[in-house]
């Protein structure tokens, strides 16, 4: 990418065997910084961070978070300020995909409190189109609150789906018994949805066949989802945003870290909202509802909408810890 639009920067940290190189693409220039840390040291730091951040009863994550901030963000901090950056696109490499960059801490604030943060699975998937003022909002809402096929119930999903249907003025909602693969396929055949919301168990197993979203009586594997989302079979336009609420990806495997959302973006969805790990049911519902409320505002980008939802959770006493809000990733296009 030669340059970025005003207010946008692309951060591309590359973990090399003997050093870390941090590339930053700004609206008017590209800069790079080399840091003296081996891949092995960085790998250990990242995996410790991922472990600590998922312990809600402890603040042990903070020290490691601040070390990672010093390595990954501090070198470019002055560049971001000088260029008036408000949205940071991150193209993480290798083990760095395990990090929720939004949660990096500068000793005063989390990164998300200063910038909207977007994850780009690959630099060639970066879309730098300008913001369109007229947004398409046709929304399909589907999900499971019942316990089915040996998966636990998701009690908050019922209210979450009803609220999103109301916020987005969605015509259709499929929940529990009506959430079946034929029903979803039928919707895609006959409607042009801009936003698709799945609130269900999802498992990322490394391949399309072993990764799936749970439906009431079946499993929608990623190959089938790809058929739905891709421009081919059913659609004239790209899906603007796919939200995967209540899903979890494989832990500790950097190839799987972008999980279901990364697969969706590669399948032709403009953006996906997904989680790096399973999130508390109630916190997920709160964050997702706020995301849609924000999205309805005029000239609101998806990146800013998610940032505002995450900041809302941080501001509550109950959900300030990054275990609740950090795993939410916006993958793909920020607009």
CATH number of the structural domain spanning residue 210: 3.40.50.1460
pLDDT at 250: 44
Residues 182 and 271 in one domain: yes
Question: Residue 256's pLDDT is what?
Answer: 62
What CATH number is attached to the domain comprising 12? 3.30.420
Residue 136, pLDDT score? 77
Non-local (6+) Cβ contacts of 117 within 8 A are 87, 88, 90, 101, 102, 111, 303, 307, 330
Within 13 Å and on the Cβ side, how many CA atoms surround 107?
A: 3
CA distances to 197, 278, 328 from 293, rounded to whole Å, are: 14, 23, 16
Neighbours of 78 (CB within 10 A): 9
Question: Do 205 and 112 share a structural domain?
Answer: no
Tell me: do 37 and 147 sit in the same domain: no
Structural domain including 119 reads 8-125
Both 175 and 296 in a single domain?
A: yes
Q: Is residue 21 part of a domain?
A: yes
- Out of 91, 125, 159, a domain closes at 125
Shared domain for 243 and 313, answered yes or no, is yes
Q: Does any domain span residue 1? A: no
Per-residue pLDDT of the chain in tens (335 residues, 90 and over written 9)? 578 999 999 999 999 999 999 999 999 999 999 999 999 999 999 999 999 999 999 999 999 999 999 999 999 999 999 999 999 999 998 899 999 999 999 999 999 999 999 999 876 555 555 555 456 799 999 999 999 999 999 998 999 999 999 999 998 999 999 999 999 999 988 888 999 999 998 887 766 677 889 999 999 988 888 888 876 566 777 899 999 887 665 445 666 667 778 877 877 889 999 888 888 888 988 999 999 999 999 889 999 999 999 999 999 999 999 999 999 999 999 99
Residues 189 and 283 in one domain: yes
> Considering the domain boundaries, does residue 3 fall inside one?
no
Residue where the block lists tokens 């977007």 = 118
Are both 263 and 170 inside the same structural domain? yes
Q: Which of 70, 61, 73, 58 is nearest to 11 (CA)?
A: 73
Which residues contact residue 102 at a Cβ distance below 8 angstroms, ignoring those fewer than 6 apart?
Answer: 110, 111, 112, 117, 310, 322, 325, 326, 328
Domain assignment present for 241: yes
- Supply the pLDDT for residue 208: 65
Strands, sheet with 328-332, edge to edge from the N-terminal-most edge strand: 30-35, 20-25, 8-15, 87-90, 116-119, 328-332, 271-275, 241-245, 195-199, 139-143, 172-175
| 133 is a domain residue | no
Residue 78 lies in a domain: yes
Residue 94 inside a domain? The answer is: yes
Domain boundary among 94, 125, 156: 125
Record the pTM: 0.92
213 & 321 share domain: yes
C-alpha–C-alpha distance, residues 140 and 304, integer Å: 22
Q: What is the greatest pairwise CA distance in the chain?
A: 56
Q: Are residues 72 and 94 in the same domain?
A: yes
CA distance 322 to 326: 5
Q: Which residues contact 61 (CB under 8 A, 6 or more apart)?
A: 49, 52, 53, 55, 103, 322
Do residues 323 and 180 share a domain?
A: yes
Mark whether 309 and 185 lie in a shared domain.
yes
Q: Of 273, 231, 240, nearest to 136 (Cα)?
A: 240
Contacts of 134 (CB under 8 A, 6+ apart): none
150: left (phi over 0), alpha (psi -120 to 50) or beta: left
Q: Domain check: are 76 and 144 in the same one?
A: no
Residue 28 within a domain: yes
In the chain, how many domains are there? 2
Contact 285, 162 (CB under 8 A): no
Q: Which of 74, 92, 125 is the last residue of a domain?
A: 125
């Amino acid at each position: 990418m030669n340059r970025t639009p005003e207010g946008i920067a692309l951060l591309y940290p590359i973990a090399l065997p003997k050093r870390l190189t941090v590339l930053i693409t700004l609206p008017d220039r590209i800069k790079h910084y080399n840091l003296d840390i081996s891949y092995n040291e960085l790998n250990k730091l990242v995996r410790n961070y991922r472990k600590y951040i998922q312990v809600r009863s402890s603040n042990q994550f903070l020290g490691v978070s601040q070390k990672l901030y010093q390595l990954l963000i501090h070198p470019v901090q002055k560049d971001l300020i000088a260029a008036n950056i408000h949205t940071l696109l991150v193209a993480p490499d290798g083990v760095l995909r395990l990090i929720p960059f939004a949660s990096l801490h500068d000793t005063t604030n989390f990164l998300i409190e200063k910038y909207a943060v977007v994850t780009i699975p690959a630099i060639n998937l970066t879309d730098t189109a300008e913001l369109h003022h007229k947004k398409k909002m046709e929304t399909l809402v589907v999900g499971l609150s019942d316990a089915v096929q040996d998966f636990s119930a998701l009690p908050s999903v019922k209210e979450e789906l009803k609220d999103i249907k109301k916020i987005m003025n969605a015509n259709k909602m499929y929940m529990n018994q009506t959430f079946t693969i034929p029903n979803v396929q039928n919707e895609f055949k006959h409607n042009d949805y801009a936003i698709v919301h799945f609130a269900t168990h999802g498992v990322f197993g490394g391949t399309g066949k072993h990764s799936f979203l749970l439906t009431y009586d079946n499993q929608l594997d990623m190959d089938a989802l790809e058929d739905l989302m891709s421009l081919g079979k059913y659609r004239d336009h790209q899906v603007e945003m796919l939200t995967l609420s209540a899903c979890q990806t494989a832990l500790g495997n950097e190839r799987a870290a972008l999980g279901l959302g990364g697969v969706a973006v590669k399948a032709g969805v403009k953006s996906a909202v997904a989680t790096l790990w399973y999130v508390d049911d109630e916190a997920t519902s709160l964050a997702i509802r706020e995301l849609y409320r924000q999205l309805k505002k005029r000239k609101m980008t998806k990146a800013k909408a998610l940032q505002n939802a995450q900041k809302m959770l941080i501001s509550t006493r109950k959900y300030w810890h990054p275990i609740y809000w950090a795993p939410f990733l916006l993958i793909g296009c920020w607009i």
